[in-house]
Structure 1
């Protein structure tokens, strides 16, 4: 569905009004400031850039790099020239702003040189590149190669956001992830000009850092589209997960075969439906396994997915059903309110195991309907294709509706190509 700026405003106003309702699980969480939303998205999608943003000494080192500053000025100069013209053609602006392959390579080489010659820069960045850091997939590479790959991910991820949410390129899943604006929307063009022309004007003289302009443009694109899904319910250790988080440290893990029971969400096909019948069925299956003592916790996983821009979060509605209808303890049910696909149901749950202090030497159990259970057992190729790695190990069939698998550190690797759940 495509929205004009006026319709988009009305839609977001409706969501804001929805937030005023009381009652667990029936509304979006309170909207934080744009700055907080932006910082959460950057931290999740672009850990390398988030590190640069958090440390003034790193930003200064980047600003003192003549090569990086030259690249940034060239980018800003061509973008500024595009925005000066009337009418603004957003697609041409995006073409002027995205990093070209040779620019990505050149910036990567400059970062590698900085890493090799600046001890302070190297000391700050190196922990990010270890197996326990934010890029475990690259940990086996030399540090300079891992740094180059982390930067490449960030640059290509920013390009993807700009092309999808400003230039209407097709995302991987157009039905749920597309731009909110019609192609060549005049209102969008005007807003892009108002918000980004001052940034391009400043960057063409002296860029704050070499990545600032495309990063701020990408964040503006997400804001204009109302795409803050990745920032909702953060931090995950608070809110609906506060009780379960506190219970993790008190758990006698030796009593259980599995660390958690994962229930993948099932998005309703109709607008206005909070919990799909298939989602409720999966919850009932998982409740049986919980009561049988298979695991001390249940993770319900699913974000704001179906139908597109639904006001209901699958995980929140499933937790409500499991606690209020099925009678499970609140402290036994965790939510993953971000996953948009079966691949990320598993990936996000494994991430939570590491982040919440679960024993990662114990397998987790997925419980779902027969069809999806069969798909999960044979999902490695899809994970490799969409995520670039498989976020679990040693998958084993337990029953028609259950599979077991082992957590792996690679699940912490961010996916900058999906800014709604990186």
Structure 2
């Protein structure tokens, strides 16, 4: 049973993880690979709305996606986009990245190889990963302007889509931990964390929502 306080703390983290950027036309959209095909659906929606002329999907596989996406996250995203009517000429695939930094670094290389001039990027992630993705992208590609995007949904809708409230809270806690420790390791830019968000995070850790925390000596992102 998840307490009222834990839900309130979870909502604070959920709201903080979302950047609240106003969407606008950009040079390209980059969809970050994960288990969530909603990233591809959102990329297609932004393409249809004329906000971007080109989509890049990036991601290999991970232990959590290998069974569902055996051909790789980016490849499955591309297949989804084509099913939804996006022409193949408007989709590039980067199938090797295994973490967020590589998503950005390798996507940049793919775009350079394709001769695409990039000044701005619509960066599409899972809803609770917006801030982490943005902070990493700004570190990896500082000369480009990033606009964060994700599938518009409430915390309750996201919990329903995952089907496991405790896992969702664990993921939100893990994402915040990385925002706290990774800037010091040079993995992402530093962002201010409001006191109420930090207090909510600490309470959730004490309540045992810790399965997605990493040991402080672990470096993978």
Q: TM-score, normalised by structure 2?
A: 0.50
Query: Pick from 235, 259, 283: which aligns with 2:27?
Result: 259
Q: Distance in 1 between matches of 2:147 and 2:102?
A: 21
Contact 1:316 1:335 in 2 (8 A): yes
The equivalent position to 1:393 in structure 2, one of 117, 120, 142, is 142
Instruction: Say if 2:7 is the partner of 1:281.
Output: no
4+ residue runs of structure 1 moved beyond 2 angstroms? Answer: 256-259, 304-312, 377-380, 394-402
Matched, 1:315 2:74: yes
Query: Residues of 2 paired with 1:314 and 1:400: CA distance?
Result: 18
Match of 1:372 among 87, 104, 129: 129
Q: Give the helix-richer structure, 1 or 2.
A: 1
Instruction: Give 1:391 deviation, angstroms.
Output: 2.4
**Distance between the aligned counterparts of 2:117 and 2:149, measured in 1?**
26
| Deviation (angstroms), 1:357 | 0.5
Distance, in Å, in 2 between the alignment partners of 1:358 and 1:400 is 21
Tell me: higher relative CO, structure 1 or 2? Use CA pairs within 8 A at least 6 residues apart: 2
Question: 2 CA distance for matches of 1:398 and 1:308?
Answer: 26
> Hey, what does 1:357 align to over in structure 2?
115
Q: Closer, same or farther in 2 for the Cα pair 1:327/1:306, shift >3 Å?
A: farther
TM-aligned CA deviation for residue 303 of structure 1: 0.9
CA contact (8 A) 2:123 2:148 kept: no
Aligned pair count reads: 126
Gaps of 5+ in 2: 1-23, 152-221
Aligned mates of 1:263, 1:298 — CA distance in 2: 7
| Distance in 2 (alpha carbons) for counterparts of 1:304 and 1:400 | 22
SS at match of 1:379: helix
Quote the Cα distance in structure 1 between the aligned partners of 2:79 and 2:122: 21
- The CA RMSD measured in Å over matched residues stands at 2.7
| Structure 1: unaligned runs, 5 residues or longer | 1-255, 267-275, 384-389, 403-422
In structure 1, the partner of 2:93 is 335
Q: How does 1:139-178 map to 2 (within 5 A)?
A: none
